[in-house]
Amino acid sequence: MNNWNIQEMKETPSQTGGPYVHIGLLPKQANIDVFAYNYDNNLVQDKTEGQPIRIEGQVFDGLGLPMRDVLLEIWQADASGAYPSTADIQGKQADPYFAGWGRTGADFKTGFWHFNTIKPGQVKGRKGVLQAPHIALIIFARGINVGLNTRIYFDDEIQANQEDPVLNSIEWATRRQTLIAKRENHENEIVYRFDIYIQGEHETVFFDI
């Protein structure tokens, strides 16, 4: 061991969000009316560009039971593949009517969750390789000590998915399927179903990002 030390701080350690995570992050779901403006699961405004879609699903524990106290957040690019963030260096103008982020809680009875959003465009990946359209998703809940990061891809983007650098970095090719949302036929709406299996058979791929 060296007796010298690089002076750097350690990241604050994570702790579980606990069963009452809604109080702080979705007060309306806990019937608390404190804020004039509340964050929610609708990313689409009147003037937002792109194809509106609904993404829905459930999160299952190691016994296959839906987790009814989970909190989920998504982060995604706009329809042209630009992030509404100053850290996006692609040089494209991001849609001024798109925040790119939303938050929701599973239903306390059924465990179903959903987001109303738009289908993201393709974003540049490392060394200029395009990534397939995708949405970053993070899951917090009682029993989860560190938020679980995953990605949602789309089953009608076959070619782009085959060329996606992140999907292709998953050595166990059979596990890549766990990240692909299934398009469903609904009358007036495009719906993608994305179920998340925290543990066991069909376990969803989780990333250290």
Partner 1 sequence: MSKLILGTYAQRNSDDHPPAYAPGYKTSVLRSPKNALISIAETLTEVTAPHFSPNLFGEKDNDLILNYAKDGLPIGERVIIHGYVRDQFGQPVKNALLEVWQANASGRYRHPNDQYIGAMDPNFGGCGRMLTDAHGYFIFRTIKPGPYPWRNRINEWRPAHIHFSLIADGWAQRLISQFYFEGDPLIDTCPIIKTIPSEQQRKALIALEDKSNFIEADSRCYRFDITLRGRRATYFENHLT
List binders of partner 1 among 125-184 (CB under 8 A): 125-128, 131, 134, 136, 138, 140-148, 151, 165-166, 169-170, 175
What is the Cα–Cα distance from 177 to 192, expressed in whole angstroms? 14
Q: 123 or 181, CB closer to partner 1?
A: 123
Is residue 40 at the binding interface for partner 1, with CB under 8 A as the rule? no
Strands 101-105 and 71-75: antiparallel
CB of residue 188 vs partner 1: minimum separation in angstroms?
A: 28
Out of 3, 4, 5, 34, point to the residue binding partner 1 (CB under 8 A): 34
Residues in the chain: 209
Return the residue of 1, 2, 4, 13 that touches partner 1, per CB under 8 A: 13
Q: Which is nearer to partner 1, 64 or 189 (CB)?
A: 64
User: Are 97 and 54 within 8 A, CB to CB?
Assistant: no
Question: Cβ of residue 132: shortest distance to partner 1, in angstroms?
Answer: 11
Residue 203 is a binding residue for partner 1 (CB under 8 A): yes
> Contacting partner 1 (CB under 8 A), which of 54, 101, 183, 190?
101
Count of residues touching partner 1 (by CB under 8 A):
81
Residue among 3, 12, 159, 188 that touches partner 1 (CB under 8 A): 12
Structure tokens of 90? 């692609």
Neighbours of 103 (CB within 10 A): 17
Q: Is 109 in the site for partner 1 (CB under 8 A)?
A: no
Q: How far is the CB of 25 from partner 1 (least distance, A)?
A: 6
Spatial separation of the C-alpha atoms in residues 14 and 117, rounded to whole Å: 29
Q: Which of 3, 5, 15, 174 lies at the binding interface for partner 1 (CB under 8 A)?
A: 15
Burial classification of residue 72, based on how many CB atoms lie within 10 Å of its CB (0-12 exposed, 13-18 middle, 19 or more buried): buried
Among the listed residues 51, 108, 110, 162, the single contact to partner 1 using CB under 8 A:
108
For 36-46, b/e burial (b = at least 16 CB within 10 A) is eeebebebbee
Contact (CB, 8 A) for 194 and 55: yes
List, in order, residues 6 or more apart from 197 with CB less than 8 Å away. Answer: 60, 178, 203, 204
| Stretch 50-89 residues interacting with partner 1 (CB under 8 A) | 61-63, 67, 69, 73, 75, 77, 83-89
